[in-house]
A and B are shown apart, each in its own frame.
Chain A
């Protein structure tokens, strides 16, 4: 009997028109950087160069901040909420219209499977703009006093794991509240942000309301430290978040930080096992594990540990790793050589510390950056792979005996972004949800996001919330 192999089903690249080079988006126009340098952005799946992108130096950042300042003072800060809303609705609609293009481009530049960029990232981007568009003329009813005011110019720095979605999380609420922005996308994934700049042009958004400066860490630092910004919004590592918090100390800039995590995904013996296994897989392998809220620590009750692990391994053998543009791909490419190196290094530490490593059998492509879905069993709280954020498709499996032990282990981390609980017992879910120190608790589900639902961490996972009514607070003075 011939096998039931799925033939490759690649999404067509032809819908995307990548320019050979991109400038900075300042005051509604693409401009060349003042110091003229550029960097290459590549497809992590093939290492093919996709485009050259400008590096913004301090004077470029300054120019962008001045543009934002001027747009804030002359147009956006004084525009009625009703009119701001209309611009945001326009943007939301254009994102929907260009959804396929954006999804393909995101998968090319980031390495994530097209199924995710198509079904998760881009729809959520549009939804986010729709959601915050509606708030723009209702801010007086948002619970921040009768006349909340915008803050001014927001400097926003976003990561490479959900490039366009993180842009939406930053820009939509900022603009809805009347702020203008200078946003720096990650250096490995600048392309969808630059297409978003085109979308701003397409929507006739007043020049300077959104400015995009590309570059690496120095560009981000120049933005965050620029004296004329009023607000810093950062998503990224706890390490960099700490540096930012230190850098803005004493400046009176408002700050929100969405940082790392080491979430516990807790499976009780009475869990709906098949869905729990799906949730474990989704929790750690969604987006190659490049997710700050990834369920990277599986805490499974000892009485079902063998059964859950066996199901998990069986399920992992079904995961299809490969071409991000193939509609059947479950796990795409690791975003960069640097990140792959980090994942490998921490995995080696896991092995050398005595945890047992198992990887799903899969053929990995010869070119590009790849890492097979991997679990470590026999992990304890003392292992580095149970404490440090790996940010890759690597799951550490720990066991527990009682609910109290599960809570204790789950909370035993400086992070506090998310947690998962799997049990069919309702009262236990509510008790666990109360006791877990995490900003998002997914019970009998995992990695769900919605524009109306606040997201953000406890402790060293950062502060501030994005999404929902709570997400307005970061961009309002009241």
Chain B
């Protein structure tokens, strides 16, 4: 590769409702590498972008939650195939941020793992309840609805995949506040999702400063749950939890920084489902 080529510098946009709008604020910020070099301009999302993303996420709920579990699994597996195709791009991006490129493989493998859960989680998490009476009684998980996620700052791709996949595999739609210092894998993931079969609005990605946007997400009355995994500042976390109490959002805030390569178990999927129990008499 000739080193004297003048590169095409990129200004990335947000991902809302399957489209790539600029921030309504028109703001951007510079993303730099671990070494401090310029990597790209990213959109600096605003309160109104959060609002638009929630609208898009809510609109996407009926179709995505209503899709068959098999179909959701197929769509997510197809995403994994696309990720695999862009493996090197992701590796370059995380490497630029000083991360181990092997986390890209872990991320893709994790996506595949969650994709397989689509048509199994209800069987493991739900079930027939042997009530003391002539009733059919069945509990099944249903998606909570719209989940707001503050993605971990790093690992940029593995952390992101680890919070997004378990939320959407059960039928939720998400609004993600991407890693502020390392947003490029999130932007690339958006490009992957846009060309996949995932319906627009299921995943919405906002780059920028979570400290500025997260409070709007936490207090939004049409958001059902909040994942604060990426919030490192305890004061911010507390204020977000307080705001989330307004409409009794389900809040996930892991106690310690998770070991990202460990087996994640089913807890993250379980955190964003509602258990619905249906009774019906058994009679002739």
Q: Which residues in A have some Cβ–Cβ distance to B below 8 Å?
A: 127, 143, 145, 238, 241-243, 245-246, 249-250, 252, 257, 259, 414, 416, 429, 433, 438-445, 448, 450, 452-456, 458-460, 462-463, 465, 468-470, 473, 478
Contact = CB atoms under 8 A, between A and B. Distances in A.
B248 A257 contact: yes
Contact of B276 (A145, A252, A259, A441): A441
B278 A443 contact: yes
Contacts of A249: 238-239, 241-242, 244-245
Contacts of B234: 250
24 contacts: A143-B124, A243-B245, A246-B241, A249-B238, A252-B255, A259-B248, A414-B247, A416-B274, A433-B276, A433-B278, A439-B275, A441-B277, A443-B278, A444-B281, A445-B135, A445-B279, A445-B280, A448-B133, A453-B139, A458-B144, A458-B276, A460-B247, A463-B248, A465-B275
- A414, A429, A458, A465, most chain B CB atoms within 10 A: A458
- 6 closest Cβ contacts across the A-B interface? A250-B238, A249-B241, A245-B245, A450-B131, A246-B245, A249-B242
Nearest to A471: B275
- B129, B130, B242, B265, most chain A CB atoms within 10 A: B129
Given A127-B132, A439-B276, A452-B130, 5 more contacts: A245-B248, A441-B278, A445-B280, A453-B279, A455-B277
Given A445-B135, A473-B270, A450 B248 contact: no
A458 B247 CA distance: 11
A406 B123 CA distance: 29
Given A127-B132, A468-B139, A439 B274 contact: yes
Interface in B233-261: 234-235, 237-239, 241-242, 244-248, 250, 253, 255
B267 A478 contact: yes
B139 A250 contact: no
A453 B137 CA distance: 7
Contacts of B242: 246, 249-250
A203 B200 CA distance: 59
Contacts of A473: 270
Contacts of B266: 143
Contacts of A439: 274-277
A469 B127 contact: yes
B280 A459 contact: no
Contacts of A470: 139, 275
Nearest to A461: B248
A433 B255 CA distance: 36
Interface string B128-146: 0111110101010000100
Contacts of B250: 463
Contacts of B224: 459
B125 interface: yes
A465 to B, nearest CB: 5
B132 A440 contact: no
A32 to B, nearest CB: 36
Interface residues of B, number: 40
A264 to B, nearest CB: 15
B225 to A, nearest CB: 9
Nearest to B254: A252
Interface in B126-181: 127, 129-133, 135, 137, 139, 144
A454 B277 contact: yes
Contact of A440 (B144, B238, B239, B276): B276
Contacts of B267: 478
A456 B275 contact: yes
B280 A429 contact: yes
Nearest to B225: A463
Nearest to B128: A452
Contacts of A460: 247-248
A85 to B, nearest CB: 18
A429 B279 CA distance: 10
Nearest to A465: B275
A207 B67 CA distance: 52
Interface string B210-249: 0000000000000010000000001101110110111110
B248 A242 contact: yes
Nearest to A145: B265
A456 B250 CA distance: 13
Nearest to A478: B267
Contact of A445 (B235, B239, B247, B281): B281
A442 B127 contact: no
Contact of B129 (A246, A257, A429, A453): A453
B248 A453 contact: no
A127 B129 CA distance: 14
Contacts of A242: 245-246, 248
Nearest to B66: A434
A230 to B, nearest CB: 11
Given A127-B132, A238-B248, A473-B270, A454 B275 contact: yes
Contacts of B265: 145, 478
Contacts of B280: 429, 443-445
A456 B274 CA distance: 9
Nearest to B270: A473
Contact of B248 (A438, A442, A462, A469): A462
Contacts of A465: 275
